[in-house]
Amino acid sequence: LEITTTHLIHRREPPHTNAEVVEELFLATLSRFPTEEEAKMSVNLLQDYRTQGAEDLLWGLINHLEFIANL
């Protein structure tokens, strides 16, 4: 599975919403949907700086203990 934030954000018609980008990133990295709190914080991160916010979120998810330890 190859996932890039650029693909999620720019190469879809119609473009993914911020909430859809967040959901896709969580599913691709942690194999689960974000909690309500995680979704809210993540969507806010993408609100102002969409591409950079998505990249930051992806890095955060990859460095999350749940990803690293495969819990």
> What pLDDT sits at residue 47?
93
Helix (H) or strand (E) holding 15: none
> What pLDDT sits at residue 38?
96
Structure confidence by residue, pLDDT tens digits, 7-60: 666 666 788 899 999 999 999 889 999 999 999 999 999 998 888 999 999 999
> What pLDDT sits at residue 10?
65
> What pLDDT sits at residue 64?
83
Report how far residue 25's alpha carbon sits from residue 50's, in angstroms, rounded to the nearest whole number.
13
